[in-house]
Chains A and B, each alone.
Chain A
Amino acid sequence: MTTRRSILKHMAAATALSVWDAPLRYAFASVNTERRLVVVILRGALDGLAAVPPHGDPDYAPMRAQLALDKNGSAANLHDLDGFFGLNPGFTNLKAMYDAKEVVLFHNICSPYRERSHFEGQNCLESGGTSPHALNDGWLNRALQPMGMADGVSAVAIEQTPPLLLSGKAKATSWMPEVMPEPDAAFLAKVRALYANDTVLASSLDMGLTLQNQAQAMNDDPNAKSGKFKASYGNLTPLFQGAGKLLGHAGGPRVAVLDASGWDTHVAEGAADGQLARRLQALDQALEALKTSLGPAWKKTAVVMATEFGRTVRPNGNGGTDHGTGGAAFLLGGAVDGGKVKADWVGLKPAVLKDGRDQPVKTDLRALFKGVLADHMGVSRTALDSTVFPDSGAIAPMTGLVKA
């Protein structure tokens, strides 16, 4: 069985036959930074009050009713952080990272979008626009040029196709762990010839092969070669682990995008041992796998996790929560100056809630994104205010998020 590693050699040979075009140049060695950035999109509107419960707020328990996580119960019911905020019991590894001062948590945060449609909300979250469909490319894509990473291989989506966040003029690619046996190189060279007049398929194939190659070359996990390293739907760990391996490689990509969905808890959200807590535990394990597989590169990494909007403060009629506004966000990694919660907390009394039902928004998510892009990835304020987040001069980048 030919592996993609050996395809690289075949590719070189094939170049002599002029079947392969320029895009297959092996560009990895030219990466200009050691810093890594991972963006995790939490699709479906994560309940921030379940993920980062403000258990010290006197209104928290009465407003949340059966969804309240109880700090007075057993330790398993909540990880206390500072006597006021806590972490969901599913976040065991995240708690350890917080204690190691590698996590900053955000509350009352949201994109500029104020309606309650998932799809529009995700569109704003990913495009960086102030209204849905105002921009047709992603903010991370627009940041690739100023970061010097628009070469098509420095930024990768761990998905079958890059999401809007990473789509646009700058080149980026997508990668997933191996799930099928691989066709041999000679065959792929012929397939490439089929795409001579189809630019979409040609560039998609070129990028896929290049990245697959790289993943194969660095993959020393024996399970991977026997085909056990498979993408399992609903199981996040292999994807986060794969991302860590790619980013951890000296010549690998520096920016990765991951998707974790399943947060739309309209029914039976549950408390300490409910479905949401279990889903958060899966996310927690995936984050730990990302950290481990990054190896020493973890020290150079910042991971941002954000969702399209929060959920209603009170439970609905079905033990779930409906679409809301403000919510939680996360920044973690060895490069993060952490161990704190940034909330601008105003309480949970009905009078302060948006429309009497949602957490208010005190911080624009773009301030968080801009802060990370500026201090971690060296993107200039001019680029941030004009191209990455157009007309956003009024939103100042947050400071003090990453270590100097």
Chain B
Amino acid sequence: MSLEGAIATQRFGLGARPGEIARASANPKAWLLAQIAGPAPQPPAPPDGFATAGRLVSEEEEYKAEKVKNKPAKAARQEAEAKGESVPPKPPKDNIRKEIWFAEMGARMALGCTTDKPFAERLVRFWSNHFTVSTAKRKVMTFAGSYEREAIRPHIAGSFEDMLFAVCMHPAMQIYLDNWHSIGPNSPAAQKGGGKKGLNENLGRELMELYSLGVDGGYSQADVIAMAKLLTGWGIYDGRPSGFGFNEARHEPGEIVLRGKTYPAGWDGSVAAIKDLAHDPATAHHIATKFATHFIADDPPKESVARLEKVFNDTRGDLHALSETVVKDANAWHPELRKFRPPVEYVTATLRAAGWNGDGENRDKQMRRLLGAVRVMGEVPFAAPSPKGWDDNADAWAGSDALLDRIEWAKQFAQGLPDANAARLAEDGLGPLLTPNTKSVLAKAGSKSEAVALLLASPEFQRR
């Protein structure tokens, strides 16, 4: 086992599974790059498979119809209750969104804990967080899983442009940032509606501020409105596998000027505008900074950012080349563990070190418990408080209360592993990264389970 091999499993992976450090040690960089040579792994599907975004659009429609159908019954119940009469029974609660959500998130969590391509999985999560959609809009619960499977995973080693288009066209994003409601003020649809409905700036703004150019990337309020107009007509279409459709009648007619450039009317203009955003030098800088922050340090070296930025520009946003660049950056191999693991990564690393196999009938239950635990620690997948996504720095996660919750969870978790051996777990999960200080504290543990809890609460287990 080499130090570089151990660093590869932590800094670029999700924490080592038994035997992983040894496998990575032969050639750590090659071990990482081999993981993104083929398609990204997909989460283990339930027996009847996961639904596509298009299928989910239909499910949502049915869900809505059902709610409308139940409305009179609900009103009647309330009236009876108000009058003090006997209340007719409620229909069974429709939990379709929750069911889909837990199936998708459980499978995602399980994949993270078991995958032998942890670098690919880290990239998936990085991009899902960059292009945040959040259950702050309830409806996103239905679509978050399919969003990651369909819009993110296929492109982690492909092109940024393709991912950007896939994201903008996915129902999850259309719903999350309200674009499916947005109507060009001069479009036929707006005129028909008597001007009652109109433009929504939300996706237009965040597309530039968060997903491409970055906040200082050079655009004005007028550009936000122009981008919103370009995105009108992009929306949801029930009956196609993608769930996406372009509705010309809602699209703002005529040429549109964005950041000083005139784009042709219609679909082609919108596509050209998004393409330009994908390849803008400001986008390269924004993405390079976030990428370096994620893999190297909260405050990454400028030279590393510059290298990533150059590669992004030179390759027109080739994400495989971007990953290769950070893997080959000497700054990314500093032995000091500078980054602090956010909650989902933290619990994932724990299960990986313990060699959890994701089998057995209790899988779903265990994954639901884990989702509950990370919630208490302050992070739920696809539930970030804003489109900015979850923060990627220690300040956001190492606060007093979050740390105490983490320590408490470590203790509970260790109690559930009565046979675990801390020394074995340290060897498998950390290898040469285990520090002498932690070793000496573990030696004073009062019980096997206390030793495991202490290992999980150690700095080297919480950092990467």
A residues in contact (CB < 8 Å) with B? 43-44, 115-120, 132, 157, 159-162, 167, 173-176, 179-183, 186-188, 190-191, 193-198, 200-201, 204-205, 207-209, 211-212, 233, 261-262, 264, 266-267, 316-318, 320, 322-323, 355
Contact = CB atoms under 8 A, between A and B. Distances in A.
B412 A180 contact: yes
Contacts of A182: 408
B403 A317 contact: no
A116 B205 contact: yes
A317 B182 contact: yes
A11 to B, nearest CB: 14
Contacts of A167: 395
A96 B39 CA distance: 62
B171 to A, nearest CB: 16
Contacts of B329: none
Residue among B209, B376, B401, B405 with max Cβ neighbours from chain A (10 Å)? B401
Nearest to B208: A117
Nearest to B445: A190
B444 A190 contact: yes
B181 A116 contact: no
A201 B337 CA distance: 13
Given A167-B395, A205-B403, A180 B459 contact: no
Contacts of B403: 201, 204-205, 208
Contact of B441 (A161, A181, A194): A194
Contacts of A117: 205, 209, 215
Given A188-B407, A317-B181, A161 B376 contact: no
B202 A266 contact: yes
Interface residues of B, number: 58
B437 interface: yes
Interface string B389-407: 0000011111111111101
B378 A183 contact: no
A180 B376 contact: yes
Contacts of B411: 183, 187
A133 B330 CA distance: 29
Contact of A323 (B201, B396, B459, B462): B201
Given A132-B215, A261-B385, A323-B201, A204 B224 contact: no
B399 A174 contact: yes
12 contacts: A118-B386, A160-B378, A194-B437, A194-B438, A194-B458, A195-B459, A200-B340, A201-B459, A205-B400, A205-B403, A316-B199, A317-B198
Q: When A and B form their complex, which 10 residue pairs have the shortest distance between CB atoms, in order from nearest?
A: A161-B399, A317-B198, A208-B400, A160-B402, A198-B459, A180-B408, A317-B197, A160-B401, A183-B411, A176-B401
Contacts of A261: 385-386
A317 B395 contact: no
Contacts of A208: 399-401, 403-404
A211 B404 CA distance: 11
B360 interface: no
Residue among A159, A193, A317, A355 with max Cβ neighbours from chain B (10 Å)? A317
A201 B412 contact: no
A323 to B, nearest CB: 7
Contacts of A181: 408, 412
Contacts of B404: 205, 208-209, 212
Contact of B224 (A116, A195, A317): A116
A317 B408 CA distance: 48
B200 interface: yes
Contacts of A211: 400
B409 A200 contact: no
A150 B402 CA distance: 22
A266 B396 contact: no
A181 B405 CA distance: 9
Interface stretch (B93-101, B147-155, B446-454): B446-454
B307 interface: no
A187 B398 CA distance: 19
Contacts of A159: 399, 401
Interface string B199-224: 11110010001000001000001001
B435 interface: yes
Contacts of B450: 187, 190
B344 interface: no
A267 B459 contact: no
Contact of B200 (A43, A179, A191, A266): A266
B55 interface: no
Given A316-B198, A355-B221, 11 more contacts: A43-B386, A119-B209, A160-B377, A160-B399, A161-B402, A180-B376, A187-B450, A190-B450, A317-B181, A317-B182, A323-B205
A120 B403 CA distance: 28
B462 A201 contact: yes
Contacts of B377: 160
Contact of A161 (B200, B385, B395): B395
Contacts of A190: 441, 444-445, 450, 454
A119 B215 contact: yes
B111 interface: no
B181 A162 contact: no
Given A188-B407, A318-B178, A200 B200 contact: no
Nearest to A118: B386
B408 A162 contact: no
